[in-house]
Every structure is written in structure tokens, then in C-alpha cells.
Amino acid sequence: MTPGSPPAEAAPPAAGAGRTALRVRAGRFPWLLVVPALIGLAVLVLPFAGLLARAPWASIGTRLLMPEVRGALWLSLTTATTATAVSVCLGVPLAWLLARTDFPGRRLVRALVAVPMVIPPVVGGVALLLALGRRGLVGTYLDAWFGLTLPFTPAAVVLAQVFVAMPFLVISVEGALRGADRRYEEAAATLGASRAVVFWRVTLPTAAPGVAAGAVLAWARALGEFGATITFAGNFPGRTQTMPLAVYLAMQESPESAIVLSLVLLAVSLVVLVALRERWAGAL
């Protein structure tokens, strides 16, 4: 370099040097995380391993055909399906209002929708009892005017399941509506379609994956509901005893039957995960 000449610029790193460094850094295995990760995995997996190890596989078919097991299974399936249908009919319009309108108190309504997801289910059952019981806030008038008593009936099972399950559907559908491309709706409206036609022919089909995912989650949550059901509907075999309640009772009288019912609920959970796998994979 001659005097007065500008200093020479540093030579850029070789093209492969950066990639090599990245490979070295990426190749460093985080060994410090292995032990807590394995412990966490064991906490999640070992209970299911114990359930499978103690299952009465030789008599599982016979136990599934027992009257009390069949009754609890049938009641759970029918009430969970009914609760899901009610949740769809009520939750989709609510999700649309939260996603597409800006009414006063929208944030408060959204927070109230999420409350059943975070409170203990038993608290939800107590709230339902105080609202819809014979001496409840609304139940008093239902009993006096219509002679309608809801607690400790199959209808109470459905109401308890709707209370705990519908928020899952509302949140799922609201997210789908917020992420949907509104240009199709605007184009349909420009072509003269009414609001009802736009909703049924454009908006709802666009949000259909979110509705389906929310319905599956709501159905699974309703099927596994325990706390609100036992508080508001009771635990009467053949009338309000769903599968989780039957598991609770069977643990005291016939542990092997409790294991069989638990396996059924576990199988349902796995089916739900498989059904939602593609949606989750697409979102990641």
C-alpha cells in the first residue's frame, strides 16, 4: 500500500465459511436440555403406559358390553353430539359477531367467552346450578311458568357440556374468520348478493375448516366433561352418568371397568388428534 492511498478493504469471508460456521453451531446438540426433556416426556407418557399395562385385554370386549358401561357410553355419545350441534348453532353466529363487527363491549364479550376454559369445571357447575336450578336466577321462572326443572336431568348434562365446550368452537371459528380473505365476500356483495347469501355461500364455506376443527374440539371436550356435569346434573346411572362419571364410580367398585372406560376415552382423544393433524400441520 502506497502512502496516501486509501486503506484496503477487508476481504469478504469465503463463500462456504458462513455455511460451515452455521453447520457447526447447528450441530451442537443441547445436551443440557436432554435430561429435563426426557423427564417431561416421561411425565406425559408413563401414565398412559400404566393404563395400557393394567388393561384387562382378555375381557375388554365383555366389559364393554356390560349394561352400565354401554349406558354410560351411549349417553356420553348422544349428549356430546347434541352439545356440539347446539354449540355450532350458537357459537358460529357469536364468532362471526366477534370477528366481523365492532360493537361496544366486544373485548368484554370475548373475555367472557374464554372464561369457561380457564375456571375449574366444578365452578362452572355451581354457576349453572345457581342460574338454572329451581331456586336459581332463571330456573325459578322456568319452574314457575313452565314447570321446567333442568338440574339432574339429561338436559342438564347437555347444558353443562355446552358451557365448557362452546368456547373452543367460538375461538376456532373466530380465528378462521379473521384469517379469511374478505375480497371474495366483497366481490359477491358487489355482484348484488344479499348479506344472507354472502354468509351462507361465501363466508361459511371459507371458514368451514375452522368450524370443523372447532366442532371436533368441542365434541371431544364435551365427551370428557366431568366437573360441571357431576355438579349440575349429578351421577345417576342410566340418566346422567356419562363416561367420565362412570370411570369415577367404577374406580371405587370395579377398577377394571374404569380402565376399560378410560381406554375408550383415550382412543377418542387419539382420533381427535388424527382428525386435527392436517390442520395443525398446515398452520405451522
- Check whether 220 has a pLDDT greater than 70: yes
Overall average pLDDT of the 252-278 stretch: 82
**Which CATH code for domain 79-240?**
1.10.3720.10
Cα distance between residue 233 and residue 248, in whole Å: 15
Per-residue cell: 37: 426433556
Overall average pLDDT of the 50-56 stretch: 88
3-class DSSP state of 58? helix
- Check whether 228 has a pLDDT greater than 90: yes
Overall average pLDDT of the 32-57 stretch: 90
Per-residue confidence band for 164, with pLDDT thresholds at 50, 70 and 90: very high
Overall average pLDDT of the 248-252 stretch: 88
Cα distance between residue 171 and residue 113, in whole Å: 8
3-class DSSP state of 250? helix
Report pLDDT for 12. Answer: 55
Overall average pLDDT of the 218-226 stretch: 92
Choice between 199 and 105, residue whose per-residue pLDDT is larger: 105
- Check whether 7 has a pLDDT greater than 70: no
Per-residue confidence band for 166, with pLDDT thresholds at 50, 70 and 90: very high
Q: Which of 153-157, 192-196, 241-245, 259-263 has the lowest mean pLDDT?
A: 192-196
pLDDT digit string, tens, across residues 168-218? 999 999 998 888 777 877 788 788 878 788 888 888 888 888 899 899 899
Report pLDDT for 154. Answer: 93
Cα distance between residue 250 and residue 175, in whole Å: 40
Alpha-helical (H) ranges within the chain are 15-27, 34-53, 60-64, 67-100, 106-118, 121-132, 139-146, 154-179, 183-190, 195-198, 204-206, 208-223, 227-232, 243-253, 255-283
Per-residue confidence band for 240, with pLDDT thresholds at 50, 70 and 90: very high
- Check whether 75 has a pLDDT greater than 90: yes
Residue carrying C-alpha cell 366442532: 215
| CA-CA-CA-CA torsion sign (228, 234, 238, 244) | positive
Report pLDDT for 283. Answer: 46
Report pLDDT for 6. Answer: 53
- Check whether 24 has a pLDDT greater than 50: no
Enumerate the domain spans of the chain.
Answer: 79-240
pTM, full prediction: 0.80
